[in-house]
Amino acid sequence: MLRSEAFITRAQSSEPDTARAISDVLAQLSCPDLALIILFVGEGHDLPTLEHALAPLDGVTRIIGCTTAGEIASGGYLEGQIVALGLPRSLFRVATGCLTNLHRFSPETARDLAFELRAEVTFSTADWANEVAFLLTDGLSMMEDQLVWALSEALGQSPLVGGSAGDGLRFGKTFVLHGARFMTDAAVLAVLRTPCRITAFRFDHLEPTDQRMVVTNACPAQRLVREINGMPAGPEYARILGKDPQQLSPFIFAANPVVSKIGDEHHVLAIQRVEPDGTLRFFSAIEPGLVLRLAQSTDLEAHLERELARLAPKGERPTILACDCILRRLEAENTQTRHRISRVLDAYGVTGFNTYGEQFNLVHVNQTFTGLAFYPPDEDTDAMQASAFFPRQTGAPANA
């Protein structure tokens, strides 16, 4: 069986000059032979320069991407780099589209786009068994929850995986890329069909505790929680942690997330920041009356290595496309394990970015490691079936 590196191309550049960086990345890719280029752009790069460099490829190769809160490639966690994955035409059929003006979001338009993209790849490769969708969204649009509901309905059994674009820790402005154009207030969807085995996965290293709190006043549309347990949200959250409200910071939020628990499963609902009036702003919509539980971290490094090893059974090394929440990276930095986490990511050949949120099928979540694992096709084409791998929390093989 072929090694993963032989059928999916990885590229990256640490060059701070944008023109030289994108030239370096494109030189590492065989662009005319690629069905799709996925580009992750770190802080400090000039987007008009990138658009100019990508313009000759528009219409030749499908291109999607976004700005990041950090990149992942050879070397693990990176900053200020340009990172790319290239999927070959010989093994992938790809259809892409974008949804603009998310502030006037139309579920019908989103569903129509998903239907159209699925039809485009299905008619040309009906005999290729595996199909997945990859979504990149303006990470400050606050529309991910509505997006995944609408798109998942149209995608049927095909897994939907994605990430919210970032802007470092500034939370100023985030962009998605479609063709040779960077956009805000937009989302980009790619539907992929292939004979390669693909596993969609999502996992986190958090364990819910028995410490409960009730959301008593919230504005879901703005992702604001004003009161917890009938008290101002920020001070009450700090009290539960045994901390002064002035101590609340992204590092505290990363170390002390909250989750909603349904049966044996939990969904992480991460806090972005505390507003001047003590309101908590979350990365996802929170409804009044929701019961939250404080969660505690397990060993981030050990958990990551264990889950990535499950994606690589019997020595297989898939190409892994990952959407890794910025809060996981902040936890690694705060616990001084960033270099060890980077070694794990590097060892398993992970490529991706740090997000402001992750999407998996019907849910928009935070503080997870979510993505797609691509495996080379079996030599026996009759055996090109979806993987049966299921991670500890949620995972699904791709299928049409």
Q: Decide if pLDDT at 11 tops 80.
A: yes
Residue 215, both tokens = 């959301």
- pLDDT band of residue 386 (cuts 50, 70, 90) is very low
- The residue extents of the domains of the chain are 9-203+301-375, 206-297
| 284 vs 346: which has the higher pLDDT | 346
Cα–Cα dist 218/221, whole Å: 9
Q: Decide if pLDDT at 397 tops 60.
A: no
Helix, strand, coil percentages (3-state) for the chain, rounded to 5, are 30, 40, 35
Which pLDDT score, from 0 to 100, does residue 198 have? 95
Interior angle at CA 347, CA 344 and CA 351, nearest 5: 85
Q: Decide if pLDDT at 315 tops 90.
A: no
Cα–Cα dist 180/177, whole Å: 7
Share of the chain above pLDDT 90, in %: 78
Residue 349, both tokens = 């050949």
Residue 18, both tokens = 């944008």
CA 65, distance to chain mean position in Å, is 11
Mean pLDDT, residues 173-185 taken together: 98
Which pLDDT score, from 0 to 100, does residue 377 have? 82
Interior angle at CA 145, CA 50 and CA 204, nearest 5: 85
- pLDDT band of residue 399 (cuts 50, 70, 90) is low
Q: Decide if pLDDT at 66 tops 60.
A: yes
